[in-house]
Every structure is written in structure tokens, then in C-alpha cells.
Chain A
Amino acid sequence: DAKTTQPPSMDCAEGRAANLPCNHSTISGNEYVYWYRQIHSQGPQYIIHGLKNNETNEMASLIITEDRKSSTLILPHATLRDTAVYYCIVRVAYDSGNTPLVFGKGTRLSVIA
């Protein structure tokens, strides 16, 4: 079973920031938070990951609370192409390569013009 809880759906106006929450209250100290997204008819795409510090890359920012029990993925300027299902996943660090990703149902983000 997935170790994360996400809202089933969200809407965001084009050009505005999309803030996608994730609850992972049982996360262990050696587990990272990963975000993947899946655009319709494609395979999941890696977005970002983090342990306890906030992270930013060219796609998004990841804000993790100090107690690490929740996090928020931020798409700073959402476009129509960001419409997708977003998955929040916890996974052990220093992975041997044997630990599979455990997907929940994710959040369906709809970016509206």
C-alpha cells in the first residue's frame, strides 16, 4: 500500500502557481519523498525528490515540513501541458535498486485556461 495521501483532484488557472499537497505521516528517517507525474497516454515522468531540505529544479519546487510528515510540490507557473496525474511516493535512500516505486492514486491536476 502507498504510504502517502493526496487529494484526488485539483484545478489551477494557467499561469498561476499549482500547489500539490502530500501527507506522509509515517515516513521513516531514511526515506525520501519523490514526485512523478503521468500525462495522459504516457508513462510516469520523474519531477523531483528530497529528504528534508527544500529542493528546486527546472520543473518544480519541493517544500517539506520540518517534521517531514507532509510536503508540497509547487509548479510556479502552470501551463496547460502540466495537466496530469501527480504521484507523491516515499522511498528508501541509498536504494540498492531493488526497491520498487509504490504508487497511490495520485492527484489529477487540471490546468484551466
Chain B
Amino acid sequence: DAGVTQSPTHLIKTRGQQVTLRCSPISGHKSVSWYQQVLGQGPQFIFQYYEKEERGRGNFPDRFSARQFPNYSSELNVNALLLGDSALYLCASSLGQVVNNEKLFFGSGTQLSVL
């Protein structure tokens, strides 16, 4: 079975530009979460979406936005890029049901470099 797929794998942008990252969850999973991981740190939560609705948001500026589509895939958008946005962006999928101890399954991420 296919795992979580993210595209592109690598991306180079310049300051002020906008970027869109894409994620396809595991088949049957209805929830997608986005995390940002800067070098040397653990991943930080950005957003969670379930059934096309935002269910959680981390401490990130409004330049960050996301959406989930009817097929449960998701996009993360970042506007007005800053050098500090350079990071590995991880997508995680889960069933999204009210279950005990739901596990997250992560993709390999998109490495974004802002010059």
C-alpha cells in the first residue's frame, strides 16, 4: 500500500515568493496534519485538517494557510516567504476518527530552501 506522498521533494524559492506544497494521505485516512521541522529541532505542528475542515492550528503566522480537498489530499501554502521559512515540511495522515491512541503516519517531507 502507498504511504503518505508529498510533492515536491525539494524546492528552492526566494524571499517574498509564495509556495504550495502537496500531500496525499494513506488510502482511507481522512485527516492530514502539517509540521515544520527546522534543522536541529523536532517537528512543530502547523495545521490539522479533517473532513475538509481545519481542526487545529499551531503558533504560525497568517502567511501559512492550508486546505483539504474532497479526496482528502491537502495543500500547504506559504506567502511572502522569509529566510526563516527554510525547513523540512512534513505531512502526516491518520484515520481521523475518535479513537484511542491514534497513530500518525508521516511522509518524507518537502525540503524548502528560501534564498
Q: Which residues of A contact B96 (CB under 8 A)?
A: 97
Q: Are A43 and B42 in contact (CB under 8 A)?
A: no
Q: Are A87 and B31 in contact (CB under 8 A)?
A: no
Is B15 an interface position by the 8 A CB rule?
no
Q: Are A87 and B42 in contact (CB under 8 A)?
A: yes
Q: Are B97 and A106 in contact (CB under 8 A)?
A: no
Q: Are B101 and A49 in contact (CB under 8 A)?
A: yes
Report how many residues on chain B are interfacial, defined by Cβ distance under 8 Å: 34
Interface of B is mostly: loop
Contact residues of A with B, CB < 8 Å?
Answer: 2, 32, 41-46, 49, 85, 87, 93-106
Partner of A43, one of B50, B90, B94, B102: B90
Q: Which residues of A contact B103 (CB under 8 A)?
A: 46, 49
4 more contacts with CB within 8 A, not counting A41-B108, A103-B42, are A43-B109, A95-B98, A97-B96, A98-B50
Q: Are B31 and A101 in contact (CB under 8 A)?
A: no
Question: Distance (Å) between the CB of B92 and the closest chain A CB?
Answer: 7
